Amino acid sequence: METFEQRFILELLENKTQESEKIEYKAYEFEKGKFNSLEQKSRNKLFQEVCAFANANGGKIVIGVREDNNHNPIEVQDVKVEKSLFEEWEQSFRLILNTRTRPVLHGVVCSHILLEDNKNIIIIDVPKSIQRPHAYNNGNKDEFYVRYGNICITMAYDQLKRSFLMLDNVQKKVQDFRDDRIGMIVNNEVFSRITDESALIIHIIPEWAMDFENFLDVRKAKYNSKMRIISPEDSQGSIIYNADVISFIYGHGEGAVMSYVQLFHNGIIEAGEIRLLNDYKDNVFYNWEKIEELIAKKMYQYCVGLTELEIPFSFYMFVSLVSVKDKKAKINDFEMSPPLVRDIIKTRVAYWNEGQSYEEAISPLMNSLANAFGMERSTLYNAELEPIVDKFPWLQK
């Protein structure tokens, strides 16, 4: 039975699909399946094409299809990378991708396809990047390219300027979203009575969400266990839809909301926890070491859940504390933090991409949050700010 990928290649040939803004053909061969066997000029050209697609609207590079002078596919040419050699090939490809593209380009997917005549094909699927413009360093200088029709051209000054302005705008939009939502929570515009007590708010913002054309069918999350509320952990909560989100809510009804998760149509997640910050006497939070571990675990869980919904890396993560002035945290059995002096606390941003470990990515967030409680560092990290392995037993390696 033909796979989707096999059918895709055959249809390109049968329909004589020309190279275009979205399709590029390369008739490359890799001796003994080694990526580095490709001559330097062709390697440079390949990564220029990758950056060009990322700087435009994304596209596919099909390696193993020969074209004619009119950019029509005419035959399959075996790339000489068998399935058993593909993992090593991809590792070499990604090493260059991660060291020569600036900023590093994430979300690129490589696929190996074996046709019925035992010819091997590789497809490189390049997404439209929110972090564009991306440059490829050829060993001497950074060069910027963009896809224009069926060719790859050097980006003009005006194109570069617009792209850099768009990148600045993305980072501002991420910050503004978090700040706007916190303002709405404080003003009881999210759920009534939510800020009668202290609240812990997590925001997970995929870069994918910053492209207004992207849309997520939130119904796909209905049975995704990664979307569970913060507490109680074994509860999904009641499910409610509205025009913007799907909500998982615990405590909704006659009383106030005590824990919730909202997944927006653009893939952004907002999770709020009230119960654990208010169930104890004398303005003291629940055991802070346990809360830190829970925050780290839930943020990871939400990010993994988003990838299961086919939202690509990368993710911005924030934690905010609302209505917490004069509250204290029980650090351990013998130590209490000083009272918090602010009503609203916002952590540093954590930025997680596929080329970085999760523990490293969330370090700025977790340590800035611990600093707000007068602590030298988060309990998840040692004195050198290295992650304590035993604190992350749930990570998928």
Mean pLDDT is lowest, of 12-26, 81-95, 158-172, 322-336, for 158-172
Determine the average pLDDT of the residues in 78-94. Answer: 96
* Banded model confidence at residue 334, pLDDT cuts 50, 70, 90: confident
C-alpha 222: how far from chain center:
20
* Banded model confidence at residue 169, pLDDT cuts 50, 70, 90: confident
* Banded model confidence at residue 297, pLDDT cuts 50, 70, 90: very high
pLDDT at 252: 55
Alpha carbon dihedral 330, 333, 334, 338, in 10-degree steps, equals 0
| CA 256 – CA 293 distance, rounded (Å) | 25
**What distance, in Å, lies between the first and last C-alpha atoms of the chain?**
33
Mean pLDDT of the chain: 90
**277 neighbors 286 (Cβ within 8 angstroms):** yes
**244 neighbors 215 (Cβ within 8 angstroms):** no
**Helix 83-100 vs helix 40-54: crossing angle, to nearest 10:** 70
| CA 159 – CA 99 distance, rounded (Å) | 24
pLDDT at 397: 56
Q: Return the percentage of the chain with pLDDT > 90, whole number.
A: 65
* Banded model confidence at residue 224, pLDDT cuts 50, 70, 90: very high
Give the strand pairing for 328-329 and 284-285: parallel
pLDDT at 105: 86
**221, pLDDT greater than 80:** yes
Mean pLDDT is lowest, of 52-66, 90-104, 270-284, 306-320, for 270-284
Determine the average pLDDT of the residues in 325-336. Answer: 85
| CA 206 – CA 264 distance, rounded (Å) | 11
Q: Look at 382 and 187; give whichever has higher pLDDT.
A: 382
For 239-287, what is each residue's pLDDT tens digit?
999 888 999 999 855 567 889 999 999 999 999 999 888 877 788 887 8
Q: Which residue has the tokens 């590029």?
A: 24
Determine the average pLDDT of the residues in 49-68. Answer: 95
Tell me the CA distances in angstroms from 92 to 15, 32, 37, 124, 135, one per residue in order.
33, 14, 11, 14, 19
Determine the average pLDDT of the residues in 184-204. Answer: 83
For 336-358, what is each residue's pLDDT tens digit?
889 999 999 999 999 998 778 99
C-alpha 129: how far from chain center:
12
* Banded model confidence at residue 112, pLDDT cuts 50, 70, 90: very high
**190, pLDDT greater than 90:** no
* Banded model confidence at residue 118, pLDDT cuts 50, 70, 90: very high
The amino acid sitting at 350 is A
Q: Sheet of 23-26: strands edge to edge?
A: 23-26, 59-63, 120-126, 109-114
pLDDT at 333: 76
18-156: CATH, from 3.90.180.10, 3.30.950.30, 3.90.1150.50, 3.30.565.10: 3.30.950.30
Q: Return the percentage of the chain with pLDDT > 70, whole number.
A: 97
Determine the average pLDDT of the residues in 81-108. Answer: 92
pLDDT at 196: 66
pLDDT at 390: 93
pLDDT at 164: 78
Beta-carbon contacts of 362 under 8 Å, excluding residues fewer than 6 positions away, are 296, 299, 317, 350, 352
Phi, psi of 162 (to 5 degrees): -65, -40
Evaluate the omega torsion of the peptide bond into residue 73 and state whether it is cis, within 30 degrees of 0: no
Size of the chain in residues = 397
**26 neighbors 80 (Cβ within 8 angstroms):** no
pLDDT at 179: 92
**191, pLDDT greater than 90:** no
Beta-carbon contacts of 244 under 8 Å, excluding residues fewer than 6 positions away, are 264, 265
**160, pLDDT greater than 90:** no
Beta-carbon contacts of 284 under 8 Å, excluding residues fewer than 6 positions away, are 327, 328, 329, 330, 336
Q: Give me the residue spans of the domains in the chain.
A: 18-156, 169-391
The two structure tokens encoding residue 114 = 């074996």
